[in-house]
Amino acid sequence: MGEVVEMMLDGTLCGGCGVFLDSACGYPRICEDCASEFRIAGRTVERNGKFFIDCGMKSVVVANKVICPTCNSLRPRRNTVLCRFRRR
């Protein structure tokens, strides 16, 4: 299983379902089917050429505060880091 994980991490296989994408690019990518499922689940997905990159959970704004996708705490909305876990 180590080889499969390594191929997912270098972008040869889709990081969601494991389907073959293309030659290795050096970073994890996902296919179009997984990208649509990730969007439905509330994750941010960006297109990178022919394939997609999973960017994590979307921030939810509640009464001028943001729910941090990392720790689920309610933080004041500002242009700084959302929580202390992202600084590491």
pLDDT digits (tens, 9 = 90+) for 35-76: 999 888 878 888 888 888 887 776 555 566 666 666 766 666
Which segments of 1-88 does DSSP mark as H helices, in order? 2-9, 32-40
Report the alpha-carbon distance of residue 79 to residue 69 in Å, rounded: 15
Say what the pLDDT of residue 55 is.
79
Element (H, E) at 47: strand 43-48
Report the alpha-carbon distance of residue 30 to residue 47 in Å, rounded: 10
Report the alpha-carbon distance of residue 84 to residue 68 in Å, rounded: 10
